[in-house]
Amino acid sequence: MIACDTDVLIVVDVQNDFCPGGRLPVPGGSDVVPVINRLAGRFANIVVTQDWHPHNHFSFASMHPGKQPNDIIAAPYGPQILWPDHCVQGTSGAQFHESLCVPQATMILRKGFHRTIDSYSAFYENDRQTPTGLTGYLRERSLTRVFLAGLAFDFCVRYSAEDAQRAGFSVFVIEDACRSIDVDGSAEAAQSALQNLGIQAIVAGHFA
């Protein structure tokens, strides 16, 4: 496979808090960094997403007395998993992993900054109504194939892939450039969901 000028690599949330030692570490999260760095040299178009929560974000377990991380509550937009405080705006945990090297990225998309709505997808907040603007950006630039890598596969990568396909893009998930956090079987559920939608899983070695 050869990346062309109408392809975009979307690097999802490779931030300190999602890597070992962070507030919400994805097992093996930092292992995706060298894979993504190698992939980045194949793409002329790269978008990087960044979780960017206010300190009092609705999805934080600390905002709900008596609740713990991984508890589920009812939000106005549906079930909401509660998380440890993470990727708080301006903190070191919200910064990109120090070894991530994608200087040619043309866009950094911050998501999750609405206090009362969580955000997994790079395309829509979790209310499924509030767009991030990424769809319009990709269309304005005539980009048609989306390749996804990053953290975590079973949440932000999964929902980004689903929304990209829903928006009419051809979508590929680069499996060895992703890792899962796996909350109550979420990794297997994500794999099944993407397979059922016909979203292709590839590996970095497919690129020439």
Which tokens go with 130? 């509030």
Indicate if 163 belongs to the active site: no
Catalytic residue chosen out of the listed positions 51, 156, 163, 178: 156
Compute the distance between CA of residue 108 and CA of residue 49 in angstroms, rounded to an integer.
6
- Name which of 94, 54, 59 is nearest 77 in CA terms: 59
Cα separation of the two ends of the chain: 6
Compute the distance between CA of residue 8 and CA of residue 147 in angstroms, rounded to an integer.
6
Compute the distance between CA of residue 2 and CA of residue 164 in angstroms, rounded to an integer.
20
Catalytic residue chosen out of the listed positions 19, 111, 118, 178: 111
CA 180 to chain centre: 11
Indicate if 13 belongs to the active site: yes
Compute the distance between CA of residue 80 and CA of residue 64 in angstroms, rounded to an integer.
12
Compute the distance between CA of residue 147 and CA of residue 102 in angstroms, rounded to an integer.
15
Cis bond upstream, residue 152 (ω within 30): yes
Indicate if 156 belongs to the active site: yes
Catalytic residue chosen out of the listed positions 7, 13, 17, 118: 13
Residues with active-site annotation: 13, 111, 156
